Amino acid sequence: MPPVMAETLRDWRIEEVGLAEGVSPQIRLSPSRKGYKRDSEWLKKPIVFRDPVDAVCDLIVDLVHAYVADHPDLLCLHCAAVEFGGGLVIFPSTYRAGKSTLSVKLASCGGRLYTDDVLPIRKSDHAGMALGILPRLRLPLPQSADRHFREFIDRRRGPVSARYQYVKLKRSEHAPLEETASICGIVVLERGSGEAPALVEADRGHMLKDVILRNFARQNPALDVLECLYAVVANAPCYRLRYETLEEAADLLIDAFGSPESQDRIEIKKIG
């Protein structure tokens, strides 16, 4: 097992166990001549990564799929989520929209990160749940990253490859596995739009479509998905955030949702 796995999956229990005869693992990561080869029931064919950090980055995708499949009471959104005073603000944005970098920026401003990429949501009460996985930033950092943020990343330096760096947040900056909080805001990111920075109200119908497209817990009936995500969108203010720099984005979000540094911690609840 690459050591980076235990470091990035900080709250997951990892132990060696024997495999019963005739049983195939859901996910297999094994060393090969070219690096680390992974095969799983979610891949059409095996994939190989030379760098162990890149291999674990990709493995985590399958681990989340397996976790959600084992918990049919969960949906799971491609989004970042940061805890503010009233609950979670989620960023259900597309690939490479800047959600990971912005969520870590907010952690550097006193917020507590739940996730930078995927957020399980309980169907029973529509609460978001932390997965206890360190956030990962794509390298290089954006040129607009300010000195405060770059220094923060240097101090929290985790496993790194040519493509990615994990950020080793402190416990006070990172919610543990299976902690839950209500969702108090939904923000779609529009980085580099060329327009003046602004946090503007979003149409709930369009936001519901955006959120549905971000769900990948496909084992749930379509009506259950629609009902849960409709409730999430209906009960949280919805915005679109136009910004050029991380500082602009953080300032607008803190003005709207309050300073994360003064937040009251939400009681930890575990899945039984």
d(CA 118, CA 134): 12
Element spanning 160, H or E = strand 157-160
Is 177 inside any structural domain?
A: yes
**pTM surpassing 0.85?**
yes
Q: How far apart are CA 253 and CA 107, in angstroms?
A: 12
Is residue 270 predicted with pLDDT exceeding 60?
no
Q: Is residue 107 situated within a structural domain?
A: yes
d(CA 8, CA 133): 6
- Cα separations (Å) of 229 from 78, 91, 169, 239? 13, 14, 29, 16
**What is the model's pLDDT at position 143?**
86
For the chain, give the number of residues.
272
In this structure, the strands spanning 136-138 and 128-129 are: unpaired
**170 inside domain:** yes
Answer for the pair 252, 199: CB distance below 8 angstroms, yes or no.
yes
Are residues 50 and 163 located together in one domain of the fold? no
Q: Tell whether 190 and 119 lie within a shared domain.
A: yes
Same domain, 36 and 165: no
Say if 17 falls within a structural domain.
no
Would residue 91 count as lying in a domain?
Answer: yes
Residues 183 and 206 in one domain: yes
Range of the domain at 145: 73-260
Q: Do 63 and 184 have their domain in common?
A: no
The predicted-structure confidence for 174-216, as pLDDT tens digits, reads as follows: 999 999 999 999 999 998 878 899 999 999 999 999 999 999 8
Same domain? For 158 and 57 the reply is no
Whether pLDDT at 5 is above 60: yes
Q: Does residue 48 sit in the same domain as residue 151?
A: no
48-66 burial code (b ≥16 CB/10 A, e <16): ebebbbbbbbebbbbbbbb
Q: Number of helices (H) and strands (E) in the chain: give both, helices first.
A: 7, 16
Whether 267 is covered by a domain: the verdict is: no
Residues 50 and 135 in one domain: no
* Model confidence at 22: pLDDT above 70: yes
Same domain, yes or no: 110 and 191 = yes
Q: SS3 for 132?
A: coil
pLDDT at 17: 78
Q: Which strand (E) or helix (H) includes residue 137?
A: strand 136-138
pLDDT digits (tens, 9 = 90+) for 87-114: 999 999 776 779 999 999 999 999 999 9
Q: Are both 63 and 83 inside the same structural domain? A: no
The 10s digit of each residue's pLDDT in 217-237 is 878 889 999 999 999 999 999
Residues 52 and 184 in one domain: no
Q: pLDDT digits over 106-162, tens only? A: 999 999 999 999 999 999 999 999 999 999 999 999 888 999 999 999 999 999 999
Q: Number of structural domains, the chain?
A: 2
| Mean pLDDT, residues 38-51 taken together | 91
Question: The domain spanning residue 130 has which CATH number?
Answer: 3.40.50
